[in-house]
């Protein structure tokens, strides 16, 4: 059984505690449960992580690239949070690792401030999911499953 890595970046540990109008009321633990259900439905196991540290996210992407090359990982659903809009390092990590990555945002970043409209990750993503709330995680898992 292959694994899907769901990787969450800075401040996503605060989900459900503030800004419910933007991000909804569900916590990151709720998101993990939703992802576990979606992975099970598609015959994958789940590796669910969150870090507030850019280098930890870079290391996780490298590890994912090696696991995909070994045939044990199907790909990554990546909500890089604000690093989406700032991080050349994460762009390079995804590109250099060769991992299949779906970029995910809970909110519709294109309907928000201009600084959220640019993503360093979109050019190296297989696809981009934004604005579907936390249900987007399940949709992104289904999309990775469909990529075979």
Q: CA torsion, points 14, 111, 134, 125, in degrees to nearest 10?
A: -100
Per rule CB under 6 A, is residue 11 in the interface with ligand CA2? yes
Is residue 59 a contact partner of residue 9, using CB atoms and an 8 Å limit? no
Is residue 62 a contact partner of residue 95, using CB atoms and an 8 Å limit? no
- Closest approach, Cβ 20 to ligand CA2, in A, equals 8
- Closest approach, Cβ 29 to ligand CA2, in A, equals 13
Instruction: Establish whether 117 is a catalytic residue.
Output: no
Instruction: Establish whether 91 is a catalytic residue.
Output: no
Closest of 32, 46, 108 to residue 74, by C-alpha: 46
Binder of ligand CA2 out of 81, 90, 101, 102 (CB under 6 A): 81
Binder of ligand CA2 out of 4, 58, 109, 140 (CB under 6 A): 109
Residue 73 buriedness (CB in 10 A; 0-12 / 13-18 / 19+): buried
- Closest approach, Cβ 85 to ligand CA2, in A, equals 6
Binder of ligand CA2 out of 105, 120, 121, 145 (CB under 6 A): 105
Q: Mind telling me the catalytic residues? A: 23, 105
């Amino acid at each position: 059984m292959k694994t899907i890595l769901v990787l969450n970046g800075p401040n996503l540990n605060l989900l459900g505690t503030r800004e419910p109008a933007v991000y909804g009321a569900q916590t990151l633990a709720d998101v993990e449960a939703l992802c576990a259900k979606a992975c099970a439905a598609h015959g994958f196991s789940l590796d669910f992580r969150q870090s507030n540290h850019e280098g930890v996210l870079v290391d996780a992407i490298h590890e994912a690239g090696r696991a995909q090359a070994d045939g044990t990982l199907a790909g990554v659903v990546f909500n890089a949070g604000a690093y989406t809009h700032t991080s050349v390092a994460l762009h390079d990590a995804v590109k250099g690792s060769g991992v299949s990555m779906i970029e995910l945002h809970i909110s519709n970043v294109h309907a928000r401030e201009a600084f959220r409209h640019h993503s360093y990750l979109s050019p190296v993503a297989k696809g981009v999911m934004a604005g579907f709330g936390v249900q987007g995680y399940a949709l992104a898992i289904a999309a990775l499953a469909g990529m075979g």
